[in-house]
Structure 1
Amino acid sequence: MKARNIYLEHANITVNDIQEAINFFQTAFPHFKIRGGGNETREWVHFGDDYTYIAINQAQYSDLKVGKNYDKVGINHIGFVVEDVEEIANNLLNAGYKRDYPKEVEQFRIRDYFADADGNQFEFVQYLSELPEERNSDKKQVTV
């Protein structure tokens, strides 16, 4: 298998309010749709497009919030490569979602971070170059 053929098919998250999670992702990605779901032992949906999705599970115990901490074991955020980070940010801001970390404008990419209602953080990154050495560059960033 060639490394460039690898991509993340899905992420699986558990949330306090499955409909609110769908609303968050629908706001960020208007083309996403419910691909499947069920309610055998818990309510769940696969929400995405033909290539990638988020598996969203309804929590059995509510009022638990994500405690993001980069010093402890766990997933800190999930990143999506997008074509227009400004459009996604504007959609989320207009829907009442808040940035969870300052927007980062760098020489070869723009990154913006938002959290869903449970505090799960998602990074949206737009690359400004097709060259891997530039896309992955750690050039000094400008935070706005």
Structure 2
Amino acid sequence: MQPTLEHINITVTNTDVTAAILAKIFNWKIRWAGAAKDDDKTIHLGTDNTYLALYRHADKHLENMTNKTISSLNHIGIQVDDINAIETKVKAAGLMPYNHGDYEPGKRFYFNLEEGLEIEVVSYQ
């Protein structure tokens, strides 16, 4: 079997809010939700094959990190078929798409969740 990326685990401010936004935009489902280490909550959100593990840490005063920090997450890329439909959903969620690009082999744009987590949406259609 070829190694396959199964999930990415990220810390967010509010697992419920972040999961609701991403589920609505990308038509993802909650695969699992429950207690996490450090007495807090995790939601596994995605498809049957891959997902994001959204983790909320009980210590709300963690130092913010940026993409200039080594080992920090720069963005999450999500491939879609209909990039225009997804952009409409991003705007409907009150989020601002930016940095649109039409390049070989596809098209892309980005948006940020409230935590500053950058999402890249890409289509090869």
Of residues 82, 85, 90, the one that matches 2:83 is: 85
Of residues 38, 42, 45, the one that matches 1:44 is: 42
In 1, the alpha carbon distance for the partners of 2:5 and 2:88 equals: 25
Check conservation: 1:65, 1:118, Cα contact below 8 A. no
Of residues 11, 17, 20, the one that matches 1:20 is: 17
Could you say what secondary structure the match of 2:116 adopts?
coil
Could you say what secondary structure the match of 1:98 adopts?
coil
Task: Report the CA distance between 1:64 and its aligned residue.
Answer: 5.5
In 1, the alpha carbon distance for the partners of 2:4 and 2:21 equals: 22
Q: Percent identity?
A: 31
Task: Report the CA distance between 1:59 and its aligned residue.
Answer: 2.6
Check conservation: 1:65, 1:119, Cα contact below 8 A. no
Task: Report the CA distance between 1:67 and its aligned residue.
Answer: 4.3
**Which segments of 5 or more consecutive residues in structure 1 lack a partner in the other structure?**
129-144
TM-score (ref. length: structure 2): 0.84
Specify the code of the residue in structure 2 equivalent to 1:44. Answer: T
Q: Does 1:54 align with 2:52?
A: yes
TM-score (ref. length: structure 1): 0.74
In 2, the alpha carbon distance for the partners of 1:65 and 1:90 equals: 33
Specify the code of the residue in structure 1 equivalent to 2:6. Answer: E
Task: Report the CA distance between 1:124 and its aligned residue.
Answer: 1.0
In 1, the alpha carbon distance for the partners of 2:33 and 2:10 equals: 14
Specify the code of the residue in structure 1 equivalent to 2:32. Answer: G
Specify the code of the residue in structure 2 equivalent to 1:118. Answer: E
* RMSD, aligned CA: 2.1
**Which segments of 5 or more consecutive residues in structure 2 lack a partner in the other structure?**
none
1:57-96 deviation per Cα after TM superposition (whole angstroms, max 9, x unaligned):
1132336685433x43121011112111111111011110
Segments of 4+ in structure 1 off by > 6 A?
none
In structure 2, the CA distance between the partners of 1:38 and 1:13, relative to structure 1 (3 Å rule), is same
